[in-house]
Amino acid sequence: MSKEKDILASVSDISTESEFFSPVPDGYKQGKTKYVFVMGTVMSGLGKGIFSSCLAKLLQDKGLKVAPIKLEGYLNIDSGTLNPFRHGEVFVLDDGMETDMDLGTYERLLDQDLSRANFATSGQIFSSVLNKERHGDYLGRDVQMIPHVTGEVKLKLRQLAMESKADVVFVEIGGTVGDLENAYFIEAMRELAYEEGPNSCCFVALTYILEPKTLGEQKSKAAQLGIKQLMQCGVQPDIITCRASSPVNEKARQKISVYSNVPFERVISLPDSTSIYLIPSMLRDNGVDFQVLRMLKIEDRINLQKERREWGKWCDFTEKMESLNRQVTIGITGKYTTVRDSYASIINALEHAGIALGCKESIKWIDTTDITDSNVAEFLADVDGIIVPGGFGTRGAEGKIACIKYARENNLPYLGLCFGFQMAVIEFARNVCGMKKANSNELKPGCAEPVIDILPEQKKIEGLGGNMRLGGRDIELKAQTLAWKIFGKKDSVRMRFRHRYEVDPKYIKTLEDAGLVFSGKAPEQPIMQILELPSHPFFMGTQAHPCLTSRPLRPQPMFVGLLAAALQRHYTDENLPDCEKAVQSIK
């Protein structure tokens, strides 16, 4: 048994007599999986998730198996109950877990579906420790932050390592070093690195170099103090990534190197970038990927042929991104109109589709609170297409319905997402089927014609956390419809859901008889999931959130369809492909 293995064996002692306690999952093979820890100093919002996912992508391109995990300090069990205005969008995974928006960045960069194993909050960690305590698992012991709570964190990381069979687990710690709520995560990382032994962990500290306008030079003091704080926690960083508005000069990097025991070549400059998709190449130019491989001693696991192939594909994508020669304007109606993070996945999905079609999209945010049938034309005069995204509650709902009516009557390309799908059904019921009182029981409880009503399974549920109809579901497609065509004429397609309400099945026939086509439904239930209007250039709604599964190199067909129709509307003098042909041209 090697020396490192001895350490792990001794700390795994769970007898009440020993001070060593570090639960290790059965069958865990030490050394198989390496760990990269990413943490931030000086301030939050440095893009730890972006850095971590881009670095993970570079390793994945080299044939390594990577598994990311985000550790959040807050006590919520998941992100489902968080207000997107405060915390950015809630990102729903295929298994139904409601997570932080950073998980979206990982899924997009890695083109990988993640699961609840990739996301942990303090709420989950404490809840699990408290359950074990009640169950008697720590009998005889006082349950402490160290070793029990830190033990639970390490267990979660090692479980992920085992389940994913990853070569490298990327651990991103939310918040900033020095936050009280994250301190025990950093302590757990320190312990894990000790237990796993040399060359098994790599600590990356992101920091920020200030450049006050009045001085006109870069200042590294705040960064130095931030790193010092990390070192006071017993963690020696291996790589320091300096974020800044412009490239970080040698002098500032030298100062940080001297101060932190990190060799100069591992103090990296990472200035602001116009797109996160350009960051993998910045990291590659800095050689961060090979620094990490060397430190973890896994250079022999890489496949350079695969890397050449994958990198070639990525460069084609970024080259296209930098030569977009057409432009359309897409209106997005939304309650959180001032916070772009609330709609991160939609913005990304539009960007992916735009790059594939060689077009840049400018987004016009539309607050619908004051929109009515009589003034809607002014608000939508300069848009080439419109999206009504997901939402909850009544504010601005009537304005959204007015926008949808305008889009339907004026051949303006329309995409309705979840709430936007439901509003399209209400608009159609009112203005085409003549059901003037059509509404949603969410917006007007007890209304006369609740075409949108609560899902039967939701009626029994009490409390508002984690219990919507959540996660990935198959959608059965109706042959010959536009949805069927843009999804490659397949029988079914999988998307992610997050809702409580649905089209009340008793109205389906009336709506269909009047010309609305439900082109996608749940396989075994009468839950309508995609709608379209055949006589319109592009009028589509879905009960799902297709933006969550759009990936840079695999744009989501509904977004491609919307943009293709918007392009046709904008560039009427050119012979541009329709939605179906545009989607086909991408494959």
Tokens 């929109």 -> residue:
371
Q: What does the angle CA 37 – CA 199 – CA 56 come to, to the nearest 5 degrees?
A: 40
Tell whether residue 243 is a contact of ligand GLN (CB under 6 A): no
| Pick 204 or 429: Cβ nearer ligand GLN | 429
At residue 23, φ and ψ (nearest 5 deg) are: -60, 130
* Closer of 386 and 418 to ligand GLN (Cβ): 418
Question: What three-state secondary structure class fits 245?
Answer: coil
Per CB under 6 A, the segment of 161-169, 190-198, 493-501, 518-526 that binds ligand GLN is 493-501
Position 485 contacts ligand GLN (CB under 6 A): no
Is residue 390 at the binding interface for ligand GLN, with CB under 6 A as the rule? yes
Dist. CA 342–CA 365, nearest whole Å: 12
To ligand GLN, the closest distance from the beta carbon of 359 in angstroms equals: 27
How many residues line the site for ligand GLN (CB under 6 A)?
Answer: 10
570 binds ligand GLN (CB under 6 A): no
Q: By CB under 6 A, is residue 501 in contact with ligand GLN?
A: yes
Phi, psi (deg, nearest 5) at residue 493: -140, 155
557-578 per-residue burial string, b: 16 or more CB within 10 A, e: under 16: bbbbbbbbbbbbbbeeeeebeb
DSSP secondary structure letters along 539-557: EEEESS-GGGG-BTTB--H
Q: Counting contacts by CB under 6 A, is residue 500 touching ligand GLN?
A: yes
The answer to the question of residue 418 lying near ligand GLN (CB under 6 A) is yes
Among 385, 391, 396, 399, binds ligand GLN (CB under 6 A): 391
* Integer Rg of the chain from CA: 26
Tell me which stretch binds ligand GLN (CB under 6 A): 10-18, 131-139, 361-369, 388-396.
388-396
Residue whose CB is less far from ligand GLN, 136 or 463: 463
- Tell the smallest beta-carbon distance from residue 495 to ligand GLN (Å): 12
- Residue 501 C-beta: closest distance to ligand GLN, Å: 3
Q: Smallest gap, in angstroms, from Cβ of residue 458 to ligand GLN?
A: 8
Reduce the secondary structure of 57-99 to three states and give it as a string: HHHHHCCCCEEEEEEECCCCCCCCCCCHHHHCCCEECCCCCEE
Angle of helix 557-570 relative to helix 344-357, nearest 10 degrees, comes to: 60
Give residues 12-51 in contact with ligand GLN (rule: CB under 6 A): none
Smallest distance, Å, CB 74 to ligand GLN? 21
Q: Which stretch binds ligand GLN (CB under 6 A): 167-175, 423-431, 487-495, 499-507?
A: 499-507
CA distance linking residue 550 with residue 392, whole number of Å? 23
499 binds ligand GLN (CB under 6 A): yes
Task: State how far the Cα of 280 lies from the Cα of 288, in Å rounded to an integer.
Answer: 10
Q: Which is nearer to ligand GLN, 190 or 473 (CB)?
A: 473
Residue 392, interface with ligand GLN (CB under 6 A)?
Answer: yes
493-508 burial code (b ≥16 CB/10 A, e <16)? bebbbbbbbbbbeebb
Q: CB 365 → ligand GLN: shortest distance, Å?
A: 17
Q: Of 72, 442, 453, 504, which one interacts with ligand GLN (CB under 6 A)?
A: 442
Q: Compute CA distances 494 → 487, 529, 530, whole Å.
A: 10, 11, 12
Footprint on this chain of ligand GLN (rule: CB under 6 A): 390-392, 418-419, 442, 498-501
